[in-house]
Chains A and B, each alone.
Chain A
Amino acid sequence: MLEKLLALDRRWIFLLVIVALTLPFFLNLTCKSYVSPEVRTLYDAIDKLRPNSKVLMAFDYDPASEPELNPMAEAFFKFAFTRRLKVIILGLWPQGPQQADRVLERVFADSVFGAMNLQYGVDYVNLGFQSGNEFAIQGMGSSIERVFPRDVRGTVTGDIPIMQDVKDFSNVDFVFNLSAGYPGTVEWVQVAADRYGVRLGAGNTAVQAPLVYPYLGSGQLTGLLGGMKGGAEFEVLTGFPAKANKFMVSQTAAHMVVILFVIVGNVAFFIVQGRGRKGRGEV
């Protein structure tokens, strides 16, 4: 029996994981998120920005990381627009700028933000994708317009109202990078923050977040949203609880299933091992 448990068909595990992930969607459950210091730091940094401050948002991820990073982006946009910040969007991943469009679509579908009558080019702009990875960031240090000569709509960057007084990083008050790998937060820290003194906050996938923790302790990174949990905490702080909080219930259930399987697996492992020792006369 225990041997069978140890060699359990993985399809049973898959089945339990999918039940754990999907069931909470139908139960309308919510859970309270404790706010971690790194999320609080990011919130405080943005909260202190004065209205009309320029915030640069770098979308460095693709749809694979959308469930973790889009809720962060959505809460960030809502918070920034509420605080009357000007948002400049760009991407070092080809799919990044389209991710921004998808998030903005959701933001403007909210009647509160739809009624704010925010104007493209004045309140926000999407400069699109630029190849070159860290060299694109390096280039922006001397001129953003040189690296992004036109926005996604084909308008010359210099003619866009929001970009009128934005020459380089010195005219940007805060950079928020949403990252799922390379190029991403590590490159923004190494080039934009270290070289040009940019104030940088980040939202990372749970897999990537541990890699950027060293930059938090050293002060090179002003706040971090790590995975779904970071997104959920940020939603709570900004006052716009949405998808991340909803998904946290599913994530909790999935974590419980994995923990349960690990415990069951270890108990079975030790019992079988104990029997083996007894059989060999070692005990």
Chain B
Amino acid sequence: MRREIPLLITGFVGAVYIVSFFIPALGFVETVTTDWILIIQAFAIWLGALNLLKINLLKLSTGKKDRVYAAVVIVSFLVMAGAGFAPLLRDGRDYQAAGSSFAWLFDAFYVPLNATMFALLAFFVASASYRAFRARNKEATLLLLAAFFVMLGRVPLGDLLTAALPDGWRMSSWADVIMNYPQLAGQRAIMIGIALGIVSTSLRLVLGIERSHIGGE
């Protein structure tokens, strides 16, 4: 039964969405199923949060050299959770209102830390471009040229440098052509391939052929 029940649930949920797409009168079944999924996903957040806490508590107790990071995670987690729950328990639900401790922690710590991590990408992209963008063969040269036109065409300087050319021949137009034709064609091909893969995998799941999600082969 440990296998059959999850397989039945998977098959039922998959069938609900397929059938209600073609028979709108059965939309109410889909509505109820969607509610269940939302509730389960909300619980999954709890599960994830508690798992994060458990893993880091274990890391802290084992005394390895990265236990400092585990301590930082635990303290940050508890402080943010405490700041979020305190106003909820005290006077209502508006835990993120301007001036609340949660909003302050979000603005003063989370925003700069999160933004800094992403901003570092600019430096690594610049460094990687210098080392990787070499015209070693035909394919690399094409990639290099496309990058050149898009990078220059996506900033106002590109048009400024080609201002003497007629409309439609300036750098931004070249970048648009690359984005709207070869790039678009490549994206569509990838998307159609992924969609076909999803359809076949989903059908295998609904029909119970694919069992890896319940620990099968």
Contacts and interface: CB of A to CB of B under 8 A. Distances in A.
Contacts of B179: 210, 213
B22 interface: no
By secondary structure, the B interface counts as helix
A63 B114 contact: yes
Interface string A8-51: 10100110111001000000000111101100000000000000
A229 B172 CA distance: 11
A146 B35 contact: yes
B31 interface: yes
B123 A13 contact: yes
Given A63-B115, A67-B115, A101-B96, A210 B187 contact: yes
B183 A262 contact: no
A264 to B, nearest CB: 8
Contacts, number: 166
B154 A255 contact: yes
A69 B80 CA distance: 25
A262 B144 contact: yes
Given A256-B157, A257-B126, A213 B180 contact: yes
B52 to A, nearest CB: 14
Contacts of A256: 155, 157
Interface in A88-119: 95, 97-98, 101-102, 105
B73 interface: no
A62 B110 CA distance: 10
Given A217-B180, A259-B152, A254 B38 contact: no
Interface residues of A, number: 67
Nearest to B31: A142
Given A259-B151, A265-B131, A33 B180 contact: no
A57 interface: no
A66 B126 CA distance: 21
For this complex, into which size category does the number of interface residues on chain B fall?
35 or more
B45 interface: yes
B133 A213 contact: no
B90 to A, nearest CB: 12
A255 B156 contact: no
Contacts of A101: 96, 98, 103
Given A10-B127, A63-B114, A262-B144, A21 B94 contact: no
A64 B113 CA distance: 8
B159 interface: yes
Interface in A138-197: 138-139, 142-143, 146-147, 150, 152-154, 195
A214 interface: yes
Given A150-B93, A229-B155, A17 B122 contact: yes
A258 B96 contact: no
Interface in B98-135: 98, 103, 106-107, 110-112, 114-115, 117-119, 122-123, 125-127, 129-131, 133-135
B130 A265 contact: yes
Contacts of A264: 130
Nearest to A15: B123
A248 B172 CA distance: 15
Nearest to A137: B34
Contact of B157 (A8, A105, A252): A252
Contact of A153 (B97, B103, B127): B97
B8 interface: no
Interface of B: 21, 27, 30-31, 34-35, 37-38, 41-42, 44-45, 92-94, 96-98, 103, 106-107, 110-112, 114-115, 117-119, 122-123, 125-127, 129-131, 133-135, 144, 147-148, 151-152, 154-157, 159-160, 170, 172, 176, 179-180, 183-184, 187-188, 191
| Top 6 closest pairs, chain A to chain B, by CB | A154-B93, A64-B118, A31-B156, A252-B155, A63-B111, A132-B38
24 contacts: A13-B123, A14-B126, A17-B123, A32-B156, A63-B110, A64-B117, A65-B118, A97-B96, A98-B106, A142-B30, A142-B34, A213-B179, A213-B183, A214-B184, A214-B187, A248-B155, A251-B155, A252-B155, A254-B122, A259-B152, A265-B131, A265-B133, A266-B134, A270-B135
